[in-house]
């Protein structure tokens, strides 16, 4: 139920717009690296110093105007330039909807082309994050079109989708990140049961690892991580063929342990003013993350009234929507 509540809240455009004005609040600063490129590069350098690479995501949701998509593109181009200039170990993750997929396919394609082209000059990899079901096929189409001219691109396979098995075969020649899936999807298209999702997840990871193409195993699930460690050992899969990925601010001890054990480790580093939807989805995945919010309320007395009122407002609106 909490999952549905936070997923609902993540889609609330009004609250998203309000959140942009107030900077990182409600504990979001624990899971979002900064609001601008300068702060983000600082965070990346700190992670790099610990032997951890980064994939940088310029947060953005509800992009329905061309100006907003163009602004997002400019911001991503700035990050690419900064990665190159500061010589940090990082690549880009982006969401096609932020670059105009919900506005016009060709417009989005042109924006993506500009980004991928610039990144290819600097030899920087671009990952197309996967969003909800409606955007799945158009995102694959964008990837296929651009891969006719560029090789520095890859995408994500979400194990909750029934079609993931076909997709992983179809895109087996790409560098792929494999995840369980973060959105609420209908029974028609997706497994609803955690056990089914987890089983499919392991199966997809094993397939892609055996394929020999680079695999990013993006999870905080230690059971999956331990399974992968055993699997690569048993199948002589070298460390340079895969990496583990986790989100910025999550299970940081385990992140460091894996890096110290000699595994490639990459942290997904979100940044920007548009943090609200991302943060709500993290709360949906793991309501225990609410303790970040609670801590914030009790440590910053000056903000507590505002934060609590906002919380009540959020919960009130959500229950009306359901
Ligand atoms: P899950 O939430 O299933 O938890 C399994 C177990 O792991 C828990 O029961 C607990 O024991 C342990 N655990 C999990 N989190 C913990 C924590 N914070 N502290 C302690 N223990 C914890 N999704 C998507 O749809 N499209 C995308 O493009 C991406 N991209 C992406 C990139 C990266 C780097 C990551 C890590 C994730 C994504 N995701 C995503 C999100 C993904 O689909 C998924 O929703 C979340 O990772 C949550 O699932 P997990 O596999 O992490 O574990």
What is the Cα–Cα distance from 189 to 206, expressed in whole angstroms? 22
Specify the pLDDT at position 273: 81
Residue 195 burial class via C-beta count within 10 angstroms: exposed 0-12, middle 13-18, buried 19 and up: exposed
- Is any atom of ligand 1 closer than 6 Å to the C-beta of 112? no
Options 3.40.50.620, 3.40.50.720, 3.20.20.220, 3.40.50.2000; CATH of 32-274: 3.20.20.220
Query: Which of 220, 227, 264, when mutated, tests ligand 1's pocket best, judged by the most ligand atoms within 8 Å of its CB?
Result: 220
- Is any atom of ligand 1 closer than 6 Å to the C-beta of 246? yes
What is the Cα–Cα distance from 289 to 96, expressed in whole angstroms? 27
Q: Nearest 5 degrees, angle CA 67-CA 70-CA 75?
A: 125
Q: Are 125 and 119 in contact (CB under 8 A)?
A: yes
Q: Are 42 and 91 in contact (CB under 8 A)?
A: no
Active site residue 177: yes
Conformational region of residue 176, where left means phi above 0, alpha means psi within -120 to 50, and beta covers everything else: beta
Residue whose C-alpha is closest to residue 281's, from 162, 180, 136: 180
In the Cβ-directed half-sphere of 200, how many Cα atoms lie within 13 Å? Answer: 24
Specify the pLDDT at position 297: 43
Q: Which residue has the tokens 């002589």?
A: 236
Active site residue 166: no
- Is any atom of ligand 1 closer than 6 Å to the C-beta of 216? no
Q: At what angle do helices 66-86 and 37-49 cross, to 10 degrees?
A: 40
Specify the pLDDT at position 319: 38
Extents of the domains making up the chain: 32-274
pTM: 0.88
Q: Which residues contact 296 (CB under 8 A, 6 or more apart)?
A: 25, 26, 27, 303, 307
Q: At what angle do helices 222-234 and 194-211 cross, to 10 degrees?
A: 30
In angstroms, the Cα distances linking 298 to 6, 27, 251, 282 are 22, 11, 22, 21
Query: Which of 180, 242, 278, 280, when mutated, tests ligand 1's pocket best, judged by the most ligand atoms within 8 Å of its CB?
Result: 180
Distance (Å) from CA 308 to ligand 1 centroid: 27
Walk along the chain (322 residues) and give the pLDDT tens digit of each residue: 666 766 776 666 666 665 665 655 566 677 889 889 999 999 999 999 999 999 999 998 778 999 999 999 999 999 999 999 999 999 999 999 999 999 999 999 999 999 999 999 999 999 999 999 999 999 999 999 999 999 999 999 999 999 999 999 999 999 999 999 988 899 999 999 999 999 999 999 999 999 999 999 999 999 999 999 999 999 999 999 999 999 999 899 999 999 999 999 999 999 988 777 777 777 777 766 666 555 544 444 334 434 444 454 444 444 333 2
Conformational region of residue 226, where left means phi above 0, alpha means psi within -120 to 50, and beta covers everything else: alpha
- Is any atom of ligand 1 closer than 6 Å to the C-beta of 225? no
Ligand 1, atom 22, residue with closest C-alpha: 220
Q: Choosing from 57, 102, 129, 198, which is the catalytic residue?
A: 129
What is the Cα–Cα distance from 64 to 76, expressed in whole angstroms? 18
What is the Cα–Cα distance from 287 to 138, expressed in whole angstroms? 31
What is the Cα–Cα distance from 42 to 254, expressed in whole angstroms? 21
Question: Hey, how many other C-beta atoms are within 10 angstroms of the C-beta on 320?
Answer: 7
Residue whose C-alpha is closest to residue 217's, from 262, 248, 263: 263
């Amino acid at each position: 139920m909490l999952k549905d509540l936070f997923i609902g809240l993540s889609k609330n455009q009004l609250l998203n717009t309000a959140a942009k004005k107030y900077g990182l609040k409600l504990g979001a600063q624990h899971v979002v690296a900064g609001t601008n490129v300068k702060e983000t590069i600082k965070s990346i350098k700190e992670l790099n110093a610990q032997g951890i690479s980064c994939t940088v995501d310029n947060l953005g949701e509800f992009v329905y105007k061309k100006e907003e998509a163009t602004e997002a593109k400019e911001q991503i181009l700035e990050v690419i330039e900064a990665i190159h200039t500061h010589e940090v170990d990082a690549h880009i993750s982006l969401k096609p909807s932020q670059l105009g997929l919900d506005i016009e396919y060709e417009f989005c394609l042109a924006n993506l082309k500009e980004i991928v082209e610039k990144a290819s000059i600097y030899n920087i990899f671009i990952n197309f994050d996967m969003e909800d079901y409606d955007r799945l096929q158009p995102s694959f189409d964008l990837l296929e079109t651009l891969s006719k001219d560029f090789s520095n691109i890859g995408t994500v396979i979400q194990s909750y989708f029934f079609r993931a098995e076909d997709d992983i075969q179809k895109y087996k020649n790409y560098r792929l990140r494999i995840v369980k899936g973060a959105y609420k999807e209908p029974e028609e298209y997706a497994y609803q049961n955690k056990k089914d999702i987890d089983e499919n997840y392991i199966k997809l990871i094993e397939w892609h690892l055996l394929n020999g193409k680079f695999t990013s195993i993006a999870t905080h699930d230690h059971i999956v991580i331990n399974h992968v460690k055993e699997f690569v050992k048993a199948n002589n899969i070298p460390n340079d063929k895969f990496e583990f990925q986790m989100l910025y601010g999550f299970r940081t001890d385990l992140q460091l342990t894996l890096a110290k054990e000699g595994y490639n480790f990459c942290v997904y580093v979100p940044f920007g003013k548009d943090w609200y939807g991302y943060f709500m989805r993290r709360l949906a995945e793991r309501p225990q993350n609410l303790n970040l919010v609670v801590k914030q309320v009790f440590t910053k007395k000056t903000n507590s009234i505002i934060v609590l009122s906002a919380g009540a407002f959020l919960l009130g609106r959500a229950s009306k929507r359901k």
